[in-house]
Amino acid sequence: MPSPQASSQQEFPAPVSGLLIPKQNQDSRISKVKPVCLTFQEICYQVYDKSRKEDKLILKDVSGYAKPGEILAIMGPSGSGKTSLLNIIGARTVSTSGYLMKNGRPVTVQTKKDMGFVSQKDYLFPTLTVRETIRCYADLRLEESISASQKAQRVEDLLKLLQLEKVADSYIGDEISKGLSGGERKRVSIACQLVHSPNILLLDEPTSGLDASTAYQVVKILRDLASLGHTVICTIHQPRESLFNMFDRLIMLSQGETFYFGSIKDTLEFFAAKGYHCPQYANPADFFIDVLTGTSVSEESNVRKSIRASEFYDNQQGLQIVRSVEKGFTEALLESKAAEMQPLDDNVKFATGFWHQLVVLTSRSFKNELRNPLSSFVALSRTVFMSLLVGALYYRSKLQEPSAVFDRQGCIFFVLINVAFSTLASIRLFIEERDIFAQEKNSNMYRTSAYFLSKCVAEFPLLTVLQVIFAAITFWMVGLHDNG
């Protein structure tokens, strides 16, 4: 059983100013990091498996805590429940049972505002530059009362902190139009989540797909953030030894159960006490995963076997430790003046108002439309083609002829069909941006209504121009101006 350090008041850092901001630019609304201790107790997560038609238990009685100034790593084999646990800790998924507490208070959906969540996949607009992307997040996540110059300064500080200055004006890009490298994209995602100086930063596999030195850079940044007072929690897949040692605390999962929770430096000792000695030159992270997956040999039994979590970790004892840390942290905060001066503002769901969100999102959508001319060109070609087709079908139909009334009816029918279908084409925008929207909405960045309206406003000029072109061609070709 690991022995996490006993909680004491000295252990908890006072609020600090975040992110290397020069003193003259510091604004408590932007840069103050409040020390937040996050505890999760007896978390169970069960889902209904549609294919097997039965309930599936994904997490079973998982307890632990993350403290400010520390990095908590969630490790385990693939499918062990790391992402599920991170989503629950980040209040993105609701657990079936258990408690999630932030400084002794239950975490609600509203409190997500002071969390930053970096998902495994990077959800970024390919048509925006790095600076514009971070600026957009600053506009949406920082209070409206903060001046534009302070926001701009914040963006510059983040570019510097995440070593993105060289690519600040490069487009993000995607698979088709190449832009940033994988490591740079990851750092942009982290920067976006840091603009509002979240007390808690959660990252799902921040090093996956990165080479060793880029992965080291990313974890080094997390280390720096932790030392600035942020509470950092990340999932990780078998990190190399130098990365592994940069974390402070570790929770190891296998099939949804806790195999270990405690300090990183106690891990080897803990496994050795259970009869699993890490070979001298082996990577501890690899060794632990081998033990969990039953590919390592116990010295006592000398057989390869799948071990149960209950043989390894005393959940009840672990839970007691989590509770005592929770109590210790809450008491320490209540006693300190910092807690009185900085109550956690949990009641405001969004950092900005509806109209501000609408302006920022519309401007982003406009930029996206303008820099993606191919889709506008396709829409224009389709409109010209349809209008020529309708024009040719009903070319110069004369009112004197009895059939002309029916011709005009048919023509108007075609025109209406075209209007309906051209607006339907706008649905593609929502499909393309669905993942980005889901991520941003999950972070409480804006209201759905503001996003929807911004899309309508941004699409309006193009749709209007297309309809005018269609009407102009059809009107003159059919001869609707000619009354007989």
Contact positions vs Mg ion (CB under 5 A): 83
* Residue 254: strand pairing partners: 257
Nearest distance in Å: CB 432, Mg ion: 24
Quick one: 12 or 117, whose CB is closer to ligand ATP? 117
Q: Taking a C-beta distance cutoff of 8 angstroms, is the pair 150, 103 a contact?
A: no
Q: How far apart are CA 470 and CA 339, in angstroms?
A: 64
- Assess 56 for contact with ligand ATP (CB under 6 A): yes
- Smallest gap from Cβ 90 to ligand ATP, in A, equals 13
82 belongs to the binding site for ligand ATP (CB under 6 A): yes
The entry of ligand ATP, Mg ion, none near residue 84 (CB within 5 to 8 angstroms by kind) is: ligand ATP
Q: Which residues contact 376 (CB under 8 A, 6 or more apart)?
A: 369, 462
In angstroms, rounded to a whole number, what is the distance separating the alpha carbons of residues 288 and 295? 10
Examine residue 15 and tell whether it contacts ligand ATP (CB under 6 A).
Answer: no
CB of 154 to ligand ATP, least distance (A): 32
| Residue 258 interacting with ligand ATP (CB under 6 A) | no
Q: Rounded to the nearest 5°, which phi and psi values hold at 279?
A: -55, 150
With CB under 6 A as the contact rule, which of the stretches 79-87, 169-177, 277-285, 351-359 interacts with ligand ATP? 79-87
Main-chain phi, psi angles of 253, to 5 degrees: -115, 150
Could you tell me which residues come within 8 angstroms of residue 27 by beta carbon, excluding any fewer than 6 positions away? Answer: 146, 150
* Site track 285-324 with ligand ATP (rule: CB under 6 A), x = hit: ----------------------------------------
- Residue 120: CA count within 13 A, CB half-sphere: 12
Residues 6+ apart with CB under 8 A from 355: none
Q: Which of 14, 20, 47, 94 binds ligand ATP (CB under 6 A)?
A: 47
Nearest C-alpha neighbor of 236 from the set 51, 390, 82: 82
For residue 306, the 8-state DSSP code is P
Binding status of residue 79 toward ligand ATP by CB under 6 A: yes
Cβ of residue 58: shortest distance to ligand ATP, in angstroms? 4
**Contact flag: residue 441 with ligand ATP (CB under 6 A):** no
For residue 145, the partner it binds in ligand ATP, Mg ion, none, with Cβ less than 5 to 8 A by kind, is: none
What minimum distance in Å lies between the beta carbon of 433 and ligand ATP? Answer: 23
- The span from the CA of 29 to the CA of 18, in Å, is 11
Task: Work out whether 483 is an interface residue with ligand ATP (CB under 6 A).
Answer: no
CB of 82 to Mg ion, least distance (A): 5
What is the C-alpha to C-alpha distance for residues 192 and 156, in angstroms, rounded to an integer?
Answer: 12
Q: According to CB under 6 A, which one of 2, 76, 239, 262 is a site residue for ligand ATP?
A: 76
- Work out how close the CB of 200 gets to ligand ATP at its nearest, in angstroms, rounded to a whole number: 19
83 counts as binding ligand ATP under rule CB under 6 A: yes
Among the candidate windows 10-18, 74-82, 139-147, 339-347, which touches ligand ATP by CB under 6 A? 74-82
Strands (E), 30-143: 32-33, 38-49, 54-66, 71-75, 97-102, 105-106, 115-118
Q: How far is CA 90 from CA 1, 116, 205, in A?
A: 27, 8, 14
| CA pair distance 19, 226, nearest whole angstrom | 11
Stretch in the footprint of ligand ATP (CB under 6 A) among 23-31, 72-80, 221-229, 308-316: 72-80
- Determine which residue in the list 19, 36, 43, 58 makes contact with ligand ATP, applying CB under 6 A: 58
Record the tokens describing residue 385, joined without a space: 């083609």
Sequence-distant (6+) residues with CB within 8 A of 181 are none
331 binds, among Mg ion, ligand ATP, none (CB under 5 to 8 A by kind): none
Q: Are 83 and 120 in contact (CB under 8 A)?
A: yes
> Which C-beta is closer to ligand ATP: that of 89 or that of 264?
89
Instruction: Tell me how many residues contact ligand ATP (CB under 6 A).
Output: 13
Residues in the site for ligand ATP, rule: CB under 6 A?
A: 47, 49, 56, 58, 76, 78-84, 237
